[in-house]
Amino acid sequence: MSSTHLLESPAAPAEKATLSKGLLLLMAFTAGMTVANLYYNQPLLADIGRSFGVAPDEVGFVSTCTQIGYALGMFLFVPLGDIKERKGLITVLLSLVCISLIGVATAQNLAWMFIASFAVGLTTVVPQILIPLAATLAAPGEQGKAVGTVTSGLLLGILLTRTVSGLIGGTWGWRFMYALAAAAMLALLLLLRMKLPVSRAAAELRYSELLLSMGRLVQKYATLRESALIGAANFAVFSIFWTALSFYVEGEPYHYSSQIAGLFGLIGAAGALGAPFVGRLADRIPTKWMIGALISLNIIAYLFFGLLGSMLWALIIGVILLDLGVQGTQVANQTRIYALEPPARSRLNTVQMVTTFLGGAIGSSAGSYAWHEWGWIGVCFAGGIAGLISFSVWLVHRMKNESP
């Protein structure tokens, strides 16, 4: 049987479970709790740097290692959601991330911290297994809503993590924050073992065929290529800002502690709460125009940061616009790619999110470097350029596909 036939043949149907409101909320909560592991370090980078006696541009590589690990973990593990029973897969991954978090909490030097942070990223891929699972379990016409709800939990986890990490880590130390995170993963593992339904494999492929099939999906679907490139640029926009924010607000004109810096996550949560609404719209209207409008919000946000960032009100407005634009674009992109080939949702999601988080890793490094070399203006310039790249990808694709 040819590889092409394997890719396009009908897969065994996934075991259908009723996606109750309670189960959907549990999946959203799980997504938020697990993705938080990637972002505990951001409001604490200055504190971690002081612990090891290193400069901001060096300690910023902690975020980069985490993002690179996450991208690799998605490539290696998330596609397994198409050929393995997902509940067991999630259990194994939660066990591994618990061990990785303990590694960070006990780090004795910066090299150890880099390796342990990479391991945390590598094993924190449960959210990207849950999102396509939610789309699979949802009733017809409700996939966008389900994706939006779980993604909203994920996004709230990303944003509220900064608040929790800033308050707890800033009060009791960053090591305590990571030890607490490890305990939370253990508790979550036990909860999911009881509540998450069994879900059969959606396809019958060997692992090597599974990985190779992702290349053919990229070749086959122009929408997937566009979506992945936009995701990469968009998450670079996001990571540039959040990596540099704690350094910016510690100095002129704010002089905020890491606890206060973490509170900006609460502001960003207002933007993330728009994700379910975007998902509902994606069930009803074409996503291609929504995405262009949402990308524009990111560019406007960086205008606020660059021109008026020394004023607190402008920083707050920019954070809300940035998070709504980035997260709304992500929901719209995921909704449209899941419709391309339902039996391959985990692989489609892998292509999308690996590319997205590679962009995030580049953004984390770019944010640290821009801050070290040029300060806040350099950060805003880097973020604005990334936003324009994202918009250019969208515009070129629209012109190419809408032309006579």
Percentage of residues in the chain having pLDDT higher than 90? 41
pLDDT of residue 61: 84
The domain 19-402: what is its CATH number? Answer: 1.20.1250.20
List the one residue out of 310, 52, 30 whose CA is nearest residue 44.
Answer: 52
- Give every CB contact of residue 252 below 8 A, 6+ residues apart in sequence: none
Distance of CA 51 to the CA centre of its chain: 27
pLDDT of residue 7: 36
Q: Give the HSE-up count for residue 133: Cα atoms under 13 Å, Cβ half-sphere.
A: 34
> Does pLDDT of 11 surpass 60?
no
pLDDT digits (tens, 9 = 90+) for 346-383: 889 889 988 987 898 899 889 988 998 999 999 999 99
Residue 210, both tokens: 């599974």
Q: Give the integer Cα–Cα distance in Å for 184 and 33.
A: 8
pLDDT digits (tens, 9 = 90+) for 175-192: 999 999 999 999 999 998
Could you write out the DSSP letters of every residue in 254-317? Answer: T---HHHHHTHHHHHHHHHTTHHHHHHHHTTS-HHHHHHHHHHHHHHHHHHHHHHTTSHHHHHH
Question: What's the mean per-residue pLDDT of the chain?
Answer: 84
At 282, the pLDDT band (50, 70, 90 cuts) reads low
For residues 194-207, average pLDDT: 78
| Residue with token string 């959210």 | 127
351 near 217, Cβ under 8 Å? yes
pLDDT of residue 258: 67
At 13, the pLDDT band (50, 70, 90 cuts) reads very low
> Does pLDDT of 9 surpass 50?
no
Instruction: Check the CA dihedral 251-257-262-267 and report its sign.
Output: negative
List the one residue out of 125, 124, 144 whose CA is nearest residue 134.
Answer: 144
pLDDT of residue 283: 63
| 40 SS3 class | coil
Domain ranges of the chain: 19-402
User: What pTM value is reported for the model?
Assistant: 0.75
At 171, the pLDDT band (50, 70, 90 cuts) reads confident
pLDDT digits (tens, 9 = 90+) for 42-72: 778 878 888 888 877 688 788 889 988 988 9
pLDDT digits (tens, 9 = 90+) for 59-106: 878 888 998 898 899 889 989 988 888 888 999 999 999 999 999 999
